[in-house]
A and B are shown apart, each in its own frame.
Chain A
Amino acid sequence: MSTFSQFTSLTWTSLAEKPVLETGATVFAFLAATRISRLGGNHPLLNPTLLAIVLISLGLEATHIPYEACLRGADTIHFMLGPTVVLLAVPLFRQRAVIRASARLIAVGLAVGLPVGVLSAVGLAWVLGASSQTILSLAPKSVTAGIAVGISEQIGGLQTLTIVLVIMTGITGAVLGPIVARLARIDDPRVVGLTMGIASHGIGTARALQINEVAGAFSGLGMGLNGVLTAIVLPLIFGWFRF
C-alpha cells in the first residue's frame, strides 16, 4: 500500500468516526438546493429540502456509502429540530394581535381544516388499501415537519416516511392553493392564507407570502396553530382506537 493511499484511508476512517463529513455534506447540499431553488424563482416544486434529499441520495448512490452511516452522522443536525420547534412560539406570539382580531375566522378554519385534512388522507389511503403503517405515517401529513415527526413517532408511524409525505403535501398545497382559490372564487387573503397554512404548513406559507403579507401572516398562523392542535388531538384519538 502506498503512503498516499494509507494516508487517505486513515483520513477516511477518522472522518467516518466523527460526523464532520455527513454534517458538512448536509449543509452543503441544502445550500446548493437553496441556490437552485432561487434560480427557479422559488417555485414550490423546487423545494430546497426535497432537492437536498435527492442530491444526498444521489451522492450516496455514487459513493456506495450506506445511508445508515449518513443518518448516524447527521444526528447533530436532526438534534437541532427540537429547540427550533420550541422557537416557533416566537413568531406565533408576535401574531397574537392578529389571532385576537380574527379569532372566530381562525377557529372555524381550524375546526374544519384539521379534521378534514386528517380524515381525507387517512380515509383515501385506507379505502385504497394502504398498510396501517403507511396510514399512521400519513395522518400528520398537513402538519409542519418538526411537529409531524413527533406525532408520527407517538402514534406508531415511520418518521422518515412522514417527512417525505409532509414535504409532498406542502408542495401539493403550495401549487394547488391559489388554483383552488381561483376556482372557488375566493379572494379574501385571510381565508386563502389561513387555509394554505392549515393544509400545507411551511411550504404553503412560503407560497402564501408571495400572494401578499396578510395571506402570509394568516398562513403562518394556520400552520402553527394546526401543528399544536394536531399534536394534542391525534395521539389522543389514535390512543383510543389503537389500530
Chain B
Amino acid sequence: MLEQISRVMFWLCVGEIAARSGLLPLPAPVTGLILLYAELAVRGKPPDDLGVLADRLLQFLGMLFVPAGVGVIAYLDVLKAEALPILAAVIGGTAITLFVTMMVANWIGIAIARGQEQKPPRLEGAVRDVNL
C-alpha cells in the first residue's frame, strides 16, 4: 500500500513541478492523472493495491470539497447580487448542454450503428482472402 501511496505522490509531485515552473498550464493533479494513466497503459494492468486505494479514496471524494465549499459564506453577497446570471448559467446552460449533446451524440450513434450493419460481412471476407 505504501508503494501505491508513493506512486500517487510521485506523479502529483511531477505535476506540481510542471505547474509551478510554468512548463504546463495544467492543474498539478490533472498532470498527475495523465502520467499515472500513461504508467498504467505501459504496465498493462494496475497493481491490486492501487485499485483498492482508488476505490476507497474516491468513495469520499465528495467530502473533500466541504471545507472549501464552506468558504462560500464569504461570497454570499456575490451570489445574491448576481443570482440571475448565475442561475441562468447553471440551470439554462446545463439544460442547453444536455439537449444539444444528446441530440448530436444520438444522431452519430445511429449513423455508426447503421454503418456497422452494412459493412462487416464483406470486409471480413476480403480480409480473409488477403490472408490466404
Docked Cα-Cα span, A228 to B31, in Å, equals 9
Number of A-B contacts (CB under 8 A): 309
Q: List, in ascending order, chain B residues with CB within 8 A of A113's CB.
A: 97, 100-101, 105
A131–B108 Cα distance when bound, in Å, is: 37
B105 contacts A108, C-beta separation under 8 Å: yes
Number of A positions contacting B (CB below 8 A): 106
Interface of B is mostly: helix
Contact, CB under 8 Å: A53 / B72: yes
- Segment 120-168 of A: residues with Cβ below 8 Å from B: 120-131, 133-134, 138, 141-142, 145-147, 149-151, 153-154, 158-161, 163-165, 167-168
Partner of A74, one of B53, B66, B93: B66
Interface size class of B (residues with CB under 8 A): 35 or more
B127 within 8 A of A: no
CA distance A201 to B71 in the complex (A): 22
DSSP class of A's interface residues: helix, strand, loop or mixed? helix
A residues whose Cβ falls under 8 Å from a Cβ of B: 22, 26-27, 29-30, 47-50, 52-53, 56-57, 60, 67, 70-71, 74-75, 77-78, 80-94, 96, 104-105, 108-109, 112-113, 116-117, 120-131, 133-134, 138, 141-142, 145-147, 149-151, 153-154, 158-161, 163-165, 167-169, 172-173, 176-177, 180-181, 184, 186, 188, 190-192, 194-196, 198-200, 202, 227-228, 231-232, 235-236, 239
